[in-house]
Each structure stands twice: as C-alpha cells, then as structure tokens.
Structure 1
C-alpha cells in the first residue's frame, strides 16, 4: 500500500509543487502523446503522470473516470488514482507491470466508453489486468444513457392527472 494513499477525498488534491518536488531530478521512464510518466523515488508502487500540454485533458478524464468507478463493480478494471494536482497537470497512479502478449486474451471486457484499447494501455497488478491509460474516452457512449423523468416531474404529472394545480 502506498504511503501516498489518502482516505479523505479532500486531501487527494495537492499543489503542483508537491509533484514537482518528487520528480524534479527525474527523467520520464515512459511517454505518450500527451503525458510523461515518472517513477516516484520513495514509493515504487506509484507513478506520476505529467501532462505535456497546457490543457491536461487526459489527467482530467482519468480523474473523472476513477472518481466515478471507485467503489463500484467497475473499480477492479482501472488503475487507482491516488492524488491529483490542483491544476490537473499531475496525477499519481498505482504502478502496474507491463502485460505480455500471452496476457492479451486475459484483458477483461471494458466499458464501451473506454477508447484506448491498445494492449499497452493495460497493465497488471498481481494477477489482475487493469486499464492504466484511460484518459481518452468515447464521450457519446459515456453520456448517452437511458433518461427518466425527475421526481418533481412525476409528481407534477400525477397532480395534473388528479386535477390538482400548483407548482
């Protein structure tokens, strides 16, 4: 368990300087189109992802997804995000081991809104394969869901049907 795990949700946002101090003398060990990934010197169980561009969209999306899947049946499918910087330029995520070609058949079914389905977007924590790069989302699939009337709409409709007027 990482020493950086915060149980209080309000403590999970840190200033950028917190992350910069941890990686100031480091070079990234991995990089993608929009982020660089750094080891954390005093905790091998986590990594820091740093946004390369002014808009940290991938970090924001991953934080949004993690916040949404936490404590749901989808949680085991995703690498945990422990911390985020106030600007969203940095996130701290659980470190996963790379998967091998032999693991590809064991990648679990993923939500249809997860856009990055390349094998290198997944890693292993123990025997469990998880998404570790989930910052690119298919937003129409994420947000297009069945809609239902709000409780106040149901009450108003019921009142109208019973001949009761009012707001």
Structure 2
C-alpha cells in the first residue's frame, strides 16, 4: 500500500543546503583522489599491495619482501635482475663498487646524468657509472652498472638504451 505524502505548508520552499553538502563532499573526495594520483584501474583494497607478502595464515604481516628477479620494482618501474643472472664481469664490477675501487677505466665513478630518463629523477651527481668489461672488446663496450644510494644498482647491457634494477 502506498501512502500519499502529507500536504506541504503554505510558503514552503525546498532547502538546497542538503544537496549542496552532498555535492561538496563528492567534490572533496574526487579532488583528493586526483591529487593522490588515483587511477580507476588501481584496486583500492582487499589485495596485497606490490612489494608485500601475505603470511601463511592469509593475513598481511606488512613486511616488505625481497625483490624477485623478473618482477617489476614498484619504485622505479624497472624489472629486477639477480646479479648471478648477469655476466660474471658485472659481479666483479659490483664488488669493486662496494670496495671503492680501483676501477679498470678512468671514467669509472664519473657522474651518470640520466639523460635518457630511465632511472628515477635525481639531482646531478646522484648517479655514478662503472664499466662492465666485455671480453674481446677493444674499448669500454656498452655494458655498465649505474649506482645511486647504497644497494641501488642498475644494469644496462646496451649503453643506456634499457635498464634493469640489480637485486643486491
């Protein structure tokens, strides 16, 4: 059974403040979403975020996991690569970087300017580059390790045309 609405009092006018409040709240929510980099294709809950692992009981313990070769680093957008998957000369170069040298080439330890823009934007001088010797090559070759902060190492086999982030 449908009940009719009670009659309105004479002089009654609708109050738009409720509608304005709803529009204001929706506007604020949408504004915050855009400012925070919202993406309609990004799930907003219920899943395990990248870089995190669920515990055996199905809960999320919130601890970051170690990178896995072949997966994408969420910080840089580059694929992770294990040092043991690279040529042995790359591991030797990384060991020299950790020891502070000496390096085989005069240019090693020089500033890498990231002109190609594949690495995260940092101020000039943040990244340094190191030659990874290529057996049989008469020059420095194309292979390099680029270093940022400690444990921030990048590999390029094609003279900066592409990069992978080294798991260190």
Which one has a larger percent helix, Structure 1 or Structure 2?
1
| TM-score clears 0.5 | no
- TM-score, normalised on structure 2? 0.25
Which has more radius of gyration? 2
User: Whose relative contact order is higher, 1 or 2, with alpha carbons under 8 Å and at least 6 apart?
Assistant: 1
